[in-house]
Amino acid sequence: MSNEEEYLKIQKKIKLKKGFYFHLGLYVIIIFFLFVINFLTEGPGPKDWWYLFPAASWGTVVAIHALAVFVFSSAGFFGEDWEARQLEKELAKKGISLDKKQLPTENEVDIDEHLDLKKMEKKARYDEQDLV
């Protein structure tokens, strides 16, 4: 792997971690506010603690997110290797074989060009429907 590929790989891992930490922070803040609302409106009795239901269900989602970021992405289940294998499979289905050096990196894709192609595809579908 070249330095550029390593840099992109590390950059992607950092984005995944950042997304998880944002999710975790949002979870903590919102569950805290739910706890305060619950405490102030229902009273201190344990049978009245309804905030535990969203805390437990959303906490499960946060735990799954943590596993996906810290365990499974580095183990290759849904990491870069998995993405590369899936890309190769899809290209093979279409009969396309590309050298990996020819593929653009995330930073090289021109967003404006991509959006123009999407507009052209939509317009082409619209025009075909008019003919029918």
* pLDDT score for 85: 77
Specify if 39 maps to a domain: yes
Specify if 8 maps to a domain: yes
* pLDDT score for 56: 97
Specify if 79 maps to a domain: yes
Instruction: Give me the number of domains the chain comprises.
Output: 1
Do residues 84 and 5 make contact, with C-beta atoms less than 8 angstroms apart? no
Dist. CA 96–CA 122, nearest whole Å:
24
DSSP codes of every residue in 45-85: -GGG-TTHHHHHHHHHHHHHHHHIIIIIHHHTSSSHHHHHH
Among the listed residues 57, 54, 77, 52, the one whose alpha carbon sits nearest the alpha carbon of residue 67: 77
Specify if 115 maps to a domain: no
pLDDT of 61-99, one tens digit each? 999 999 999 888 765 566 666 777 778 888 888 887 766
Task: Please give the residue that has the higher pLDDT: either 14 or 98.
Answer: 14
Task: Please give the residue that has the higher pLDDT: either 85 or 14.
Answer: 14
DSSP codes of every residue in 103-131: SPPGGGS-HHHHHHHHHHHHHHHHHHHHH
Dist. CA 125–CA 132, nearest whole Å:
11
* Residue-range definition of the domain harbouring residue 95: 3-105
Specify if 132 maps to a domain: no
Q: Mapping DSSP to helix (H, G, I), strand (E, B) and coil, where does residue 43 land? A: coil
Among the listed residues 83, 63, 61, the one whose alpha carbon sits nearest the alpha carbon of residue 73: 83
Among the listed residues 56, 77, 70, the one whose alpha carbon sits nearest the alpha carbon of residue 21: 70
Specify if 34 maps to a domain: yes
Specify if 73 maps to a domain: yes
Specify if 41 maps to a domain: yes
